[in-house]
Amino acid sequence: MQVLPFTIRHGSTLTAALYQCDVPYFSVVLRKVFGVAGAAFVDNRVPNMRIAWPSGDWGSLPLEGGIYAAYKRELEAAGDKRNELYEKIMNQFEAVRSPIRTAEKFDMPEIIDPRDTRPILCEWIQLMYDYVLPQRLERIKVQGPRILYRP
């Protein structure tokens, strides 16, 4: 996969926009979320909400690419046994890999049963209408609209 030179710049602009966003948002990690791009969509500041399904897989790097990066010398030195060494390392990481452990390290508040997504989302929306919306409307009356600079 080729990364174009402007990809990081546009991604950073998107991340800045999301973190300056004044509208609360609800994130559900369904599958894979990695690196800066993943962090952009899992903002856990109040009143934003994020949850994950048990199928979620997140972290700094995908495990597969991370092994090639972290164990590059060992894999190159292994020669013909490269695939065996890769599998051994992968199995070691898989043995301790857990959505619960990862959720704790990456400050994911809850891993839920996927069937509970709609009720949790509906409850969160009701909370936003009952508590956050009146506060935001009052702030706009007093302070005016919030205009942010974004490079």
User: Domains of the chain, with CATH numbers?
Assistant: 7-143 (3.90.226.10)
| Mean pLDDT on 131-137 | 89
User: Does the structure show a pLDDT above 80 at 38?
Assistant: no
Alpha-helical segments (H) within 29-81: 35-40, 63-70, 72-77
Q: Is 53 exposed, middle or buried (0-12, 13-18, 19+ CB in 10 A)?
A: middle
Q: What is the pTM of this model?
A: 0.70
Highest mean pLDDT among 1-10, 118-127, 138-147 belongs to 118-127
**The pLDDT value given to residue 88:** 92
Model pLDDT for residues 80-121, shown as the tens digit of each residue = 888 899 999 988 887 777 777 777 777 778 899 999 999 999
Q: What is the DSSP letter of 119?
A: H
**The pLDDT value given to residue 104:** 78
> What would the DSSP string read from start to end of 82-97?
HHHHHHHHHHHHHHH-
Which of the four pLDDT bands, split at 50, 70 and 90, describes residue 32?
confident
